Amino acid sequence: CINQSAMDSVKMEKAEKYLSDHKIRPVFEYLTAHIIKTRPSHPLDAMILSLQELKANGLDGKKKPTVIFVLGGPGAGKGTNCQKLVQEYGFVHLSAGDLLRAAKQTDSDEGRLIAECIKNGDIVPGHITISLLKQAMNKDLDAIYLIDGFPREIKQGIEFERDITPCRFVLFFECDEDILVKRLLKRGETSNRTDDNEESIKKRLATYHNQSLPVIDYFDCYDKVKKINSAGTMDEVWDNVKKSVSSLL
């Protein structure tokens, strides 16, 4: 009898450890509570159904949108290919940079701070960008959002995933720096952007290497990164994007 209870306690400990290591305790508790409450005649089917609901709506019961982060250096082709993805798959494109450029027009301290950060190639404080993204995403929770140019640093990624939803995957546009610089200077001839000039480009690239590239390693740990070679022509890059995205959907 003593042996039996010792064995039970070892089993309990193992079960507890498994639940906490795999972070499934809340899910397990939600499912068992649901089964006890509803006493369905087919408990397994009911569990599968509520797992599917849980996946769509999250533990707090609120529906979450689907998010794909689109990352890469400045001038890597994020915006161009996002527009094509919108046409091909009906995704909704949210460029963090565009949202910030619109917000910087407001005559306020926040507007001035955003303008300063953009010109200097610095990262705008995460809570500002996250709040703009949140506002834009509240409009349609059934959409698949391409979040372009965000998160710019690991902390922003963690905060976004905690407050809004975990991303489905990350599209990472890989390209050598000399090609990026050439593209940005060319774009600068017509873009009218305050940061498409030699001095700002240098600062943007430094910020990218020091703060934004580690975001890729972070998501790589979760096996969420799809790398896309974006050094070729627009058609070649779009071909790579289509292949990657269709294999992920």
Closest approach, Cβ 22 to ligand UDP, in A, equals 32
CB of 100 to ligand UDP, least distance (A): 5
214 touches 153 (CB < 8 A)? yes
User: Is the link from the previous residue into 40 a cis peptide, with omega within 30 of 0?
Assistant: no
Q: Is 170 helix (H, G, I), strand (E, B) or coil?
A: strand
String of contacts with Mg ion for each residue 72-111, x by CB under 5 A:
-------x-----------------x--------------
Considering the complex, what minimum distance in angstroms separates the CB of residue 229 from ligand UDP?
17
Out of 43, 53, 65, 122, the only residue in the binding site for ligand UDP (CB under 6 A) is 122
Comparison of 196 and 225: residue with beta carbon closer to ligand UDP: 196
Q: Give the one entry of Mg ion, ligand UDP, none that residue 238 binds, where binding means its C-beta sits below a cut-off of 5 to 8 angstroms depending on kind.
A: none
Amino acid 35 reads I
DSSP state of 123: P
Edge-to-edge strand ranges of the sheet holding 66-72: 92-95, 144-148, 66-72, 169-174, 225-229
- The two counts, helices (H) then strands (E), for the chain are 12, 5
Q: Which residue lies nearest Mg ion, judged by its C-beta?
A: 79
State the Cα–Cα distance between residues 11 and 123, nearest whole angstrom.
Answer: 49
Q: Out of Mg ion, ligand UDP, none, which partner does residue 152 contact, by CB within 5 to 8 A per kind?
A: ligand UDP
> Between 169 and 208, how does the x/- string for binding to ligand UDP read (CB under 6 A)?
--------------------------x--------x----
* CA pair distance 11, 16, nearest whole angstrom: 9
Handedness of CA 114, 119, 120, 123 (dihedral sign): positive
Interface with Mg ion includes 188 (CB under 5 A)?
A: no
When asked if residue 117 is in the footprint of ligand UDP (CB under 6 A), the reply is: yes
Contact partners, residue 49, CB within 8 Å, separation at least 6: none
Examine residue 78 and tell whether it contacts ligand UDP (CB under 6 A). Answer: yes
Q: Which residue is nearest to ligand UDP (CB)?
A: 97
Q: What residue ranges bind Mg ion (CB under 5 A)? A: 79, 97
